[in-house]
Amino acid sequence: MIALALATLLAQTPSPAPIAPQPDVAELFEKRCSLCHGADGRGKTKKGREYKTPNFTSARYQKHTRDDEIRDAIANGVRKTKMKGFKDKLTPEQRETLFLYVRAFGKKS
């Protein structure tokens, strides 16, 4: 009886909509961030030097930059710089993935 009820319920439940594939975080960083921050996160690109982009691999940056500051910069940009925010261009999950990617640069140095 219970098995029949469960089978009936499952047959009536619509399948969830397919989820669009998300780009790999390295690909996302490359596309959105590397022009200034460099693929290695050091900010040693032409634009990075021009805009005085921080070095994500430095112990100082990793120690003195709070998580909420990084998340805010990704979402809303950085005042008085050329960095625009990605709140309207990336999902919250993509922004969080980028945040974790930036933090991971501290482990690579």
| pLDDT tens sequence across 19-61 | 444 569 999 999 999 999 999 999 999 999 999 999 999 999 9
| Domain range 22-108, its CATH number among 1.10.760.10, 3.30.200.20, 3.40.50.2000, 3.40.50.300 | 1.10.760.10
Angstrom distance (rounded) from CA 11 to CA 99:
40
The mean pLDDT value for 1-20 works out to 54
Residue with tokens 């691999």: 57
3 state DSSP class of 82: coil
The mean pLDDT value for 5-17 works out to 54
Digit-coded pLDDT (tens) for 67-83: 999 999 999 999 888 89
According to the model, what pLDDT value does residue 21 have? Answer: 47
What are the extents of the domains in the chain? Answer: 22-108
Q: What's the pTM value of the predicted model, to 2 decimals?
A: 0.76
